């Protein structure tokens, strides 16, 4: 199994675009089998259902989470970023009834002043373990793009408990090294944090909600 963890930003973006050119067509039919915790973590977003909030999902994929968030928060503005145009094509179809409050952008989430305190929620769902090597940079940027009461929400793989599975996931661009949780706890005011076993304990996944410090 060839290790495909990226070592530079440009290579990472191109790898994701190439990888999802095909995967976008089968993503929703296959990923439910191991992307645990997505619905659970959204229930811990600390805003009332009628709140007029702005939500950004980084690596929004086919829009599954944004659709759920649109149902949970009917007054929310929804923003989705993804580097894969193929995934966004699927998202546009899945979110066609949210057009009046939806913005989808084919671009990476990056360090800078583009959003500057604009969002109440920034969601990373099974994205950070695929964003290599700059995942820490994106978490450092998130507080600058959150409102004063805003939260970062993360659900993702935590670590592999079987070495062959760790190598298999690295061959599919995914890190399972357990680094996310300690970094989030150190850099955000933790409101919710759980680590739970995935399928038959082969891997663990994590869920986190935190405010900026």
Q: What was the pLDDT predicted at 14?
A: 53
Residue 4 falls within a domain, yes or no? no
118, part of any domain: yes
pLDDT value, residue 25: 45
Burial class (CB in 10 A: 0-12, 13-18, 19+), 89: middle
1 in any annotated domain: no
Render each residue's pLDDT in the chain as its tens digit; 213 residues.
564 555 555 545 555 544 444 444 444 544 555 689 999 999 999 999 999 999 999 999 999 999 999 999 999 999 999 988 888 998 999 999 999 999 999 999 999 999 999 999 999 999 999 888 889 999 999 999 999 999 999 999 999 999 998 987 787 778 899 999 999 999 999 999 999 999 888 999 999 999 998
Nearest-angstrom CA–CA distance, 196 and 172:
22
Domain presence at residue 123: yes
Q: 199: domain CATH number? A: 3.40.50.150
Q: What confidence score (pLDDT) does residue 131 get? A: 87
Residues 6 or more apart whose Cβ sits within 8 Å of residue 186? none
Distance CA 60, CA 42 (A): 14
Residue 169's pLDDT is 78
Of the candidates 163, 197, 184, the residue with the CA atom closest to the CA atom of residue 34: 197
Tell whether 3 is covered by a domain.
no
Question: CA–CA separation, 65 vs 78, rounded Å?
Answer: 10
Kindly report the pTM of this predicted structure.
0.88
Residue 143 φ then ψ, to 5°: -60, -30
Tokens representing 29?
A: 């039919």
Judge whether 67 lies within some domain: yes
How many domains does the chain fold into? Answer: 1
CB count within 10 Å of CB 212 equals 18
- Residue 2 within any structural domain of the chain: no
State the residue range of the domain holding 190.
9-212
């Amino acid at each position: 199994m060839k290790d495909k963890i990226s070592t530079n930003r440009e290579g990472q973006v191109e790898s994701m675009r190439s990888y999802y050119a095909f995967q976008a067509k089968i993503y929703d039919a296959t990923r439910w089998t191991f992307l645990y915790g997505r619905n659970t973590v959204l229930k811990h977003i600390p805003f009332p259902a009628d709140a007029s909030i702005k939500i950004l999902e980084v690596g929004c994929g086919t829009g599954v989470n944004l659709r759920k968030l649109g149902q949970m928060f009917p007054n929310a503005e929804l923003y989705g970023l993804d580097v894969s145009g193929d995934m966004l094509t699927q998202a546009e179809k899945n979110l066609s009834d949210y057009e009046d409050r939806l913005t989808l952008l084919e671009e990476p989430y990056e360090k800078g002043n583009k959003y500057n305190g604009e969002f109440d929620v920034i969601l990373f769902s099974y994205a950070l373990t695929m964003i290599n090597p700059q995942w820490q940079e994106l978490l450092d940027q998130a507080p600058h793009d959150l409102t004063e009461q805003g939260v970062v929400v993360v659900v993702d793989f935590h670590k592999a408990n079987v070495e062959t599975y760790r190598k298999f996931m690295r061959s599919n661009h995914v890190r399972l090294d357990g680094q996310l949780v300690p970094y989030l706890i150190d850099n955000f005011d933790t409101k919710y944090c759980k680590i739970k076993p995935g399928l038959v304990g082969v891997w663990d996944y994590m869920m986190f909600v935190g405010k900026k410090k």
